[in-house]
Structure 1
Amino acid sequence: MLQGYLAGIRRLTLRQVPVPEPGPGEVVVKIRCALTCGTDLKTFRRGHARLPVPGPFGHEAAGVVHAAGEGVERFRPGDAVMWVPTAPCGQCPPCRRGQENLCRHLFDPERMALGAYAEFIRLPAPIVARHLFAKPGHLSFEQAAFLEPLSCVVRGWRRLGRPEEVVVIGTGTIGLLHVMVARALQVPRIVAVGRRAAGLELARQAGATETLAADAQEALPRIRALFGGEGPAAVIEATGRAESWQAAAQWVRPGGRVLLFGGLAGGTWVHFEAFRLHYEEVDLIGSFHYTPADVREAYDLLARGRLPVAMLITHRRPLAELPEVFQALDRGEAIKVALYPEGAETGGAGEAGGPARPGGGDGPGQGSSSQTLP
């Protein structure tokens, strides 16, 4: 089979490897669609603290079960499925405290499902048990592949709560997903801030009530003016730039909350004004990865058709063009690309690919009720 392999920084290749065989509790999936993401682009450019380089590349995908290992009862060949690439152990101290997104074993190589830029992928038993789900028939494989980034965004909203107004800095994929979730949560006022006209237009389509074309460092007076001189109740930083982290803490009103969502490179230090944090009780909130509850909520949002995620895909390309796709991403010529192995159909919500039966050890099946975000 064809598999994308990151051999080193900016050294992305395609190689031929055997189709994997499932072990006990494991499932091998035939990829129908894989998505590029900002994390993969960062890894391509500079490596990643939690993702192995060199190693198989890609982690957002959806497909059809090719083979199921011994002991797998919820899925069989032909089932259309969606998943996220990690699952907590449930036994380490963070897991026992309910902080499953901080599990000490989330990124153990043998427990992760990496290599989504391929024709087939093997899902380890912990993921099959907790984070593999039946794909509803009305969802396209493109839409289903958004489960992982959406789970991360849902985690951020659990940390933030549900403010009466929010400003989102950044109109890339993650910023737009935050706008969509805010809309789904019926936040009355959603302001998107970005530098690109195309991104701001997408933000309006995603549900922003207002947009502002500005750089984070120069927008402070304009943001405060939009909110009566004080600033908004909440700000979400979704660019992963240190200067935007600092700006977000200045934009928010006294008593407001700032979700620092966009990750920074290891070793980065960011400075905040002590007066704001102490005398004005501004809360700075971090968010990382997701818990099983976040994944279930993200699954439910997708299954209920609450989010127009397919609009975020800017290009569709065959898997064979993977190296060229990342060169284009590196040059800023694309935002999110759907990659299709040879013979896979592109687009369309009619990619059912098999019956949708309940899946995932503690995940939702058909007809599951919505979880409630704060």
Structure 2
Amino acid sequence: MLQGYLAGIRRLTVRQVPVPEPGPGEVVVRIRRALTCGTDLKTFRRGHARLPVPGPFGHEASGVVHAVGEGVRRFRPGDPVMWVPTAPCGACPPCRRGQENLCQRLFEPERMALGAYAEFIRLPAPVVSRHLFPKPDHLSFEEAAFLEPLSCVVRGWRRLGKPPEVVVLGTGTIGLLHVMVARALGLARVVVVGRRPAGLELARQVGATETVRAAAQEAAPRVQALFGGEGPAAVIEATGRAEGWQAAAQWVRPGGRVLLFGGLAGGTWVHFEAYRLHYEEVDLLGSFHYTPADVREAYGLLAQGRLPVARLITHRRPLAQLPAVFQALDRGEAIKVALVPDGDEPGPGGGDA
């Protein structure tokens, strides 16, 4: 089978490897759609603290069960499925405290389902037991493959709560997913700030009530003016840039909350104005990964068809073109690409089972 393999920084290849076989409690899935994401692009560019390089590449996908291992009862060959690539152990100190997204074993290689840019993938037993779900018939494989990033976004909203309005900084996939979730939660006002006209137009299509075209460092007066000069109740930073983190903390109103969602490279230091945090009680919140509860909520949002996630896919390409796809992503020529294994049609819709 074909499998994408990240051999080193900016060294992405497609290689031939044997189709995996499932061990006890495991499932092998034939991939129908895999999606590129910002985390994979960062890993391609500079590596990742939690993902192995070199190693099989990709983690957002959906497909059809090919084979099941001993003890698997909920799934059988032919079942269309969707999943997220990690699962908590349930026994370490963070898990016992209810912080399953901080599980000490989440990123042990033998427990992760990596290698989604492939024709087949083996899902480890922990993922099968906690985070493998049947794909609803009405949901395309492309839509189903959004389960992992959407679970992360749902986690962010669990941290943020439900403010009366929100400003989202960033028009990439994650920023636009935040817009969709905000509208699904019933927020009447969702403002998006970004620099790319195409991204801002897409933000309006998926639910933004207003958009501001500006760089993060320049947008403060315009954002605050939209909210009576005081600023919004909440800001979500979704660019993963240090200047975005600093800007978001300046936009929010006194007593407001800032969700610093976009991750920065290890060793990055960010400076905030102490006056805002102390005298104006501005809360800065981090958000990482997801818990099983977040995954179930994300699954429900997708299954109910409440989010227009398919609009975020800008290109569809054969799996064999994976290296060229990441070169295009590196140049900023796409937002999210659906990789189609050989034998599937790369047209829109995702190929429902």
Query: Could you say which TM-score interval applies, normalised by the shorter chain?
Result: over 0.9
Q: Does 1:298 align with 2:298?
A: yes
Which 4+ stretches in 1 moved above 6 angstroms? none
Unaligned stretches of 5+ residues in structure 2: none
So what's the TM-score if we normalise by structure 1?
A: 0.94
Cα separation, partners in 2 of 1:3 and 1:350, compared to 1, 3 Å: closer
CA distance in 2, matches of 1:194, 1:63: 34
* Counterpart AA for 1:323: P
Q: Which amino acid aligns with 1:200?
A: L
Q: Mapping of 1:1-374 within 5 angstroms?
A: 1-347=1-347, 349=349, 351-353=351-353
* Counterparts of 1:330 and 1:42, CA distance in 2: 9
How well do the aligned residues superpose, as a CA RMSD in angstroms? 0.8
Where 2:34 maps in the other structure, the secondary structure is strand
SS across alignment from 1:30? strand
Output the amino acid matched with 2:222. R
Q: Distance in 2 between matches of 1:214 and 1:350?
A: 34
Distance 1:304 1:344 in 2: 26
Deviations 1:248-271 (A, max 9, x none): 000000000000000000000000
CA contact (8 A) 1:140 1:348 kept: no
Distance 1:193 1:274 in 2: 24
Q: Say if 2:165 and 2:187, in contact at 8 Å, map to a contact too.
A: yes
Q: Which amino acid aligns with 1:49?
A: A
How far off its partner does 1:348 sit?
5.1
**Matched position secondary structure for 2:247:** helix
> 1:366 matched to which residue of 2?
none
Partner Cα distance (1:75, 1:195) in 2: 45
Q: Kindly provide the amino acid, as one letter, of the partner of residue 326 in structure 1.
A: F
Asked if the contact 1:138–1:349 (Cα under 8 Å) also holds between the matched residues in 2, the reply is no
| Distance (Å, rounded) in 2 between the aligned partners of 1:223 and 1:135 | 40
SS at match of 1:65: strand
Distance 1:287 1:174 in 2: 13
Identity in percent: 86
Length, aligned pairs only:
353
Q: Deviations over 1:208-253 (max 9, x none)?
A: 0000001110011111111001000000000000001000000000
Q: Whole-Å Cα distance in 2 between the matches of residues 347 and 75 of structure 1?
A: 28
3-state SS in 1 of match to 2:333: coil
